């Protein structure tokens, strides 16, 4: 995983147990049919690189790791590392590995807005929206938390999702319509679930 516009580190997972000299090896990084990086018997070679990777890659030969600078959402995907050894004149493949790159962009803290004006009256409805923007990948869901005294109700409502055509970042909104709480302090928060490994973001509570 790598944050948007940061450097992504892709490992070749090559132990080099034979301590082979880099001058006897050719190292290729590929994504699909595109050549991402090439080290030709100790020298970085740029002739065959796909234009979108030029001046964006560096190879750390001690750790056998490729650095992909300014990683974008279009860079997501499967990368393949292929290492060939100079063997009696013709190169022989001695190692291949794959690395899957996921890009992460931080969502803004969810914000609750009231969709009505004026004073709240008994038996009316409370109309709220919860929004968060500028994140990636697409989140799982938005949960509303309604707390009063010692109980908390969890409500899941439909989440509207839009994706920016240029940046590919997501904006999300969920709406809540409930009766106005009566004679009791109620705190309402919304929770944006980003997925198992990314956790959740919570709004500042709204007190009614």
pLDDT in tens, 72-128: 999 999 999 999 988 777 888 999 999 999 999 999 999 999 887 777 777 788 899
CATH code assigned to 2-104: 2.60.40.10
Q: What is the pTM of this model?
A: 0.81
Average pLDDT of the residues of the chain:
89
108-207 shares the fold of 2-104: yes
Residue 141 has pLDDT above 80, yes or no: yes
Residue 110 CB partners (closer than 8 Å, separation 6+): 130, 131, 132, 142, 190, 191, 192, 201, 202, 203
| Radius of gyration of the CA atoms of the chain, in A | 26
Superfamily of domain 108-207: Immunoglobulins (2.60.40.10)
73: nearest Cα among 164, 139, 159: 164
Phi and psi at residue 55, in whole multiples of 5°? 60, 20
68 has pLDDT over 80: yes
Smallest CA-to-CA distance from 71 within 50, 102, 98 is with 102
DSSP state of 6: S
Task: Give residue for tokens 């063997």.
Answer: 87
The pLDDT, as a whole number, for residue 178 is 87
The DSSP H or E segment spanning 16 is none
For the chain, give every domain's residue range. 2-104, 108-207
pLDDT, tens only, 183-200: 788 899 999 999 877 889
**Which H or E run contains 122?**
none
SS3 for 100? strand
Task: Please state, in angstroms and as integers, the Cα–Cα distance from residue 14 to each residue in 20, 65, 90, 92, following that order.
Answer: 11, 9, 21, 15
Neighbour-count burial of 154, counting CB atoms closer than 10 A to its CB (0-12 exposed, 13-18 middle, 19+ buried)? exposed
Q: Which residues contact 205 (CB under 8 A, 6 or more apart)?
A: 147, 187, 188, 189
> Both ends of the chain: CA-CA distance in Å?
40
């Amino acid at each position: 995983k790598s944050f948007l516009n940061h450097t992504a580190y892709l490992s070749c997972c090559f132990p080099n147990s034979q301590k082979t000299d880099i001058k006897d090896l050719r190292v290729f990084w590929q994504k699909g049919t595109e050549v991402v990086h090439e080290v030709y018997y100790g020298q970085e070679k740029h002739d065959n690189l796909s234009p979108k990777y030029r001046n964006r890659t560096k190879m750390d030969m001690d750790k056998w790791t490729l650095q992909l600078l300014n990683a974008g959402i279009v860079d997501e995907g499967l990368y393949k590392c292929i290492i060939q050894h100079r063997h009696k004149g013709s190169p022989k493949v001695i190692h291949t590995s794959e690395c899957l790159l996921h890009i992460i962009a931080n969502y803004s803290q969810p914000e609750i807005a009231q969709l009505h004006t004026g004073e709240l009256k008994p038996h009316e409805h409370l109309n709220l929206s919860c929004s968060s923007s500028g994140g990636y990948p697409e989140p799982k869901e938005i949960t509303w938390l309604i707390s009063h005294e010692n109980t908390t109700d969890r409500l899941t409502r439909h989440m509207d999702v839009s994706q920016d055509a240029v940046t590919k970042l997501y904006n999300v909104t969920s709406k809540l319509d409930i009766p106005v709480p009566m004679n009791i302090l109620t705190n309402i928060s919304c929770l944006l679930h980003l997925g198992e490994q990314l956790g959740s973001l919570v709004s500042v509570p709204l007190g009614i």
